[in-house]
Amino acid sequence: MTEKMLDEGPFFHGTKGELALGDMLSPGFGSNFRSRGLNHIYFTATLDAAKWGAELSQGEGVERIYIVEPTGPYEDDPNLTDKRFPGNPTRSYRSKSPLKVVAELGRWERHSEAEIDRMREGLAKLREAGEDIIED
* Tens of pLDDT, residues 23-57: 999 987 666 556 667 788 999 999 999 999 999 98
* Tens of pLDDT, residues 83-129: 666 777 789 899 999 999 999 999 999 999 999 999 899 888 877 88
**Which DSSP state fits 126?**
H
> In angstroms, what CA-CA distances link 77 with 23, 63, 90?
22, 22, 10
CA 118 to chain centre: 19
3-class SS at 124? helix
Pick the CATH number of 11-128 from 1.10.3720.10, 3.20.170.40, 3.20.20.140, 3.30.70.120: 3.20.170.40
3-class SS at 47? helix
Confidence label for 18 from pLDDT (cuts 50, 70 and 90) = very high
Q: Provide the whole-model pTM.
A: 0.84
